[in-house]
Amino acid sequence: MKRSDRMQEENGVLEYSVRTDLALEAKEMYNETNEGEIDGIEGDEYIDKNIKVSVVKIVNESGEKKIGKPQGTYITLEFGEFVYYDGQRIIELSEVMAKELSKLINLNEEQTALVVGLGNWNITADAVGPQVVEKIMVSRHLKEYVPDEIDEGVRPVCALAPGVLGLTGMETSEIVRGVVDRIKPSLIICIDALASRRTQRVNRTIQIGDTGIAPGAGVGNKRAELSEKTLGVPVIAIGVPTVVDAGTVANDTIDLVLDNLIESATKGSGFYKMLKEVDRDERQSLIREVLDPTLGGMVVTPKEIDKVIESVSKVIANGINIALQPALTLDDINTYLN
């Protein structure tokens, strides 16, 4: 394997110095330095309502080691920023998300689902989880106290935004485990902010996975993971990359400059050859050496993040509501919320 700044292998496990929580990007990074199919990885891509859907399945330990992600299914939806300002597109994206999420849900209508919104509601880029929880159709209390007043087929759903260690003094995993022990849900759906290695995927990507999640991963502050292994209940994780590493921004900017210079240079000239021979791995290593002493682990987010989080939380909440309440339409669901 070619060793680069982007990937290092230690004790047989692949680790990435470029921060990303997306399995799709981890697979792309491996492919950039390795040819052919990846043993233990299955993939598929298709378009649904002009939304690109990519599926990465890690089926054995070999695939797990190669891209550094747990075995399981990771579904990625990629969409344009216009979604945030178009009500109809928000609904279409919600429906596509619900369809993909439903593939990972195996519940009957009497089993309880717990939705957990991870993150800090005081920090906009980290507030997607709590904002989703505000829009979830909670029905567990209705099923218990006024069963005759609700539609048939409504599944019991409860929701929790546990906050972060700095606000509560408690680990998120401790809070969630206490709730799980008390209400005994059959499924947990966690929502959190993620980090991406590509600026064009920030706020334009939703990842759905069935392997659980480590809270705080998006800002490089991982806490105890929430997974079936730690909680004894299947955990589906939904995440949106809302931040990008400062080094990635610098690297992408230089990539754009180089590509523009290459296009304008005369093919065959010394300048053209020099540009084509630039080692992008070495350049990325240099960028990190320069930035680390001054910026450290700085991450950045777009200026319109308030509007983005408001819209994307609506998309995710709609998708979860539709997937958890298949007997209801989105209009029916909205009557419970209004």
Q: What tokens were used for 228?
A: 């079936």
Residues forming beta bridges with residue 46, ordered by sequence position? 53
Position 2 pLDDT exceeds 80 = no
SS3 188: strand
319 near 208, Cβ under 8 Å?
no
Closest CA to 316 of 138, 95, 112, 114: 95
Residue 134: enclosing H or E segment and its boundaries?
helix 128-134
Question: Greater confidence, 198 or 90?
Answer: 90
pLDDT score recorded for residue 148:
77
**CA-to-CA distance for 77 and 55, rounded, in angstroms?**
9
CATH number of 8-247+299-337: 3.40.50.1450
SS3 162: coil
Q: Could you please report the per-residue DSSP string of 80-106?
A: -GGGGG-HHHHHHHHHHHHHHHHTT--
Parse the chain into domains and list their residue ranges: 8-247+299-337
Could you tell me where the beta strands, DSSP code E, fall in the chain?
8-10, 13-15, 41-48, 51-58, 72-78, 113-117, 157-160, 187-196, 205-209, 235-245, 299-300
Segment 16-28, tens digit of pLDDT: 345 678 889 888 8
Segment 69-127, tens digit of pLDDT: 899 999 999 998 766 778 888 999 999 999 999 999 999 988 999 999 999 988 888 99
**CA-to-CA distance for 30 and 25, rounded, in angstroms?**
9
**CA-to-CA distance for 91 and 292, rounded, in angstroms?**
41
pTM: predicted TM-score of the whole model, two decimal places? 0.81
**CA-to-CA distance for 322 and 97, rounded, in angstroms?**
9
Q: How many CB atoms lie within 10 A of CB 293?
A: 7
Residues in the chain: 338
Position 196 pLDDT exceeds 90 = no
Q: Could you please report the per-residue DSSP string of 17-55?
A: SS----HHHHHHHHHHHS-SPPTTEEEEEEEETTEEEEE
**CA-to-CA distance for 243 and 294, rounded, in angstroms?**
19
Q: What tokens were used for 89?
A: 């597109």
The residue type of 108 is N
Q: pLDDT over 90 for what percent of the chain?
A: 42
